[in-house]
Amino acid sequence: MSSIVGGVVMVTAGLLRYRKTRAQLDAGTFQPAGVVLDLITILTVLFGLVLAAYLIYTERSLG
């Protein structure tokens, strides 16, 4: 359940960032996202890898 909520939050944050970036590009005032975006990306990838490893482990131990 928490991964679904996290996914919805990530999609919403992505949409908001897209709209902000688009407006900045149109106005000629673009500012890169910085370290926060990099950290969120790294944490999301790590979470996905841990989840994949868990699913593989449970499949092998149960099946």
Give residue 15's identity as a one-letter amino acid code.
Answer: L
Residue 1: pLDDT band (50, 70, 90) is confident
Mapping DSSP onto H, E and C, the string for the chain reads CHHHHHHHHHHHHHHHHHHHHHHHHHHCCCCCCCHHHHHHHHHHHHHHHHHHHHHHHHHHHHC
Interatomic CA distance for residues 32 and 61, integer angstroms: 45
Q: What are the boundaries of each domain within the chain?
A: 1-31, 32-63
Q: Read off the pLDDT of residues 26-39 as tens digits, 9 standing for 90 and up.
A: 999 998 888 988 99
Which residues have CB under 8 Å from 51's CB, separation 6+?
3
Report whether pLDDT(63) > 80.
no
This prediction has a pTM of 0.59
